[in-house]
Structure 1
Amino acid sequence: MKNPVLVLSSVLLLSAFSCKKSSDGNKSIIVEENVEKTVSNDNGKIDSTFTDAKTEKTADTQVQEITERYVGTDGTSALVTFKNSDKEHTISIRSNNKTIVLPQKEAWAKGGIYADHDIEVKSEGDNITITQGNNVIELKKARGQ
């Protein structure tokens, strides 16, 4: 008889002193997410693209991430994320459960060059070229998803 009473009193004691969770969150970080899917009619064909954009603002920094799906000439798919902040500009390419992240070395209006070690990525408009030694991989922004 004493065991159930002891257990019950312990549960009541713990629940009386348990922490309250606040749903207010961290007010100093503002996250804006925008998932956009556009469909346009070009020469009688339906063309769709997918873009996922996220902007995170704090008191002293702003980080913007744009993720788009690209397709290789062999049909493989890759997710490409452009990350821009006050401190860094990087490109992240994920395919076949592997990810490479490279810092930006050069930039212009519609593209840039990202490089680290022996890998170089050139982004121009809807095209991305990955070069590592003698290997060249061409990616194009996905259409018709």
Structure 2
Amino acid sequence: MKKGLWGVVTVIALSFTGCKKSETGNKAVLQSDGTEQSMTDSGKADPNIQYETDVNGKKYVKTDFVYKATDGSLAKVVFDYKEKTMSIRSNNKTFILNKVDSKGNEAVYEKMDMKARVKGDSLILDQGNNIIELVKTKI
């Protein structure tokens, strides 16, 4: 039993010391180029759409963001540009809103009494008498 345990420990120790650290970095890490480009939405440019670039230079649309409210709470927001919806998840509750308007650099999403305005890095939720201001974080 002890010989088997020592054998396993030796193999694990050798595997840690045998790995070389690559100087080129992790190829699986995605790098953001920091630029926001527009995608046409019913004939209009939508600057709220952000693109990311992988290490191979291929661009893709970034769809999920973390927003922080003024009270410090966090919300995950996922945009589905094909379905023209956005989902907001906070406190284990998810709200899915439909895009109703897009003008200039502002997009408006609604469902029943909840309304969301997205403009740049800010998101303003309006639900009846409650107005919640959120700002995009870099988490």
In the superposition, the TM-score normalised over structure 1's length comes to 0.53
Partner of 1:74: 71
Specify which of 131, 134, 138 is matched with residue 129 of structure 2: 134
Specify which of 74, 89, 114 is matched with residue 94 of structure 1: 89
In the superposition, the TM-score normalised over structure 2's length comes to 0.55
Count of aligned pairs: 88
Q: 2:78 is matched by which residue type in structure 1?
A: T
**Residues 52, 75 of structure 1: CA spacing in aligned structure 2 closer, same or farther, 3 A cutoff?**
farther
Aligned-residue identity in percent: 34
Specify which of 112, 118, 125 is matched with residue 123 of structure 1: 118
Give the structure with higher Rg (CA): 1
| Aligned counterparts of 1:35 and 1:93: Cα–Cα separation in 2 | 24
Specify which of 99, 108, 122 is matched with residue 104 of structure 1: 99
* Structure 1 residues without counterparts, runs of 5 or longer: 1-33, 40-50, 54-63
Matches within 5 A, 1:22-37: 35-36=30-31
After superposing on structure 2, the runs of 4+ consecutive aligned residues of structure 1 that deviate more than 4 Å are 34-39
**Residues 65, 37 of structure 1: CA spacing in aligned structure 2 closer, same or farther, 3 A cutoff?**
closer
| Aligned counterparts of 2:90 and 2:132: Cα–Cα separation in 1 | 12
Q: Which has the higher strand share?
A: 1
Specify which of 57, 81, 88 is matched with residue 84 of structure 1: 81
| Aligned counterparts of 2:137 and 2:62: Cα–Cα separation in 1 | 18
* Structure 2 residues without counterparts, runs of 5 or longer: 1-28, 35-49, 53-60
CA contact under 8 A between 1:65 and 1:81: conserved in structure 2?
no
Partner of 1:48: none
CA RMSD of aligned residues (A): 2.6
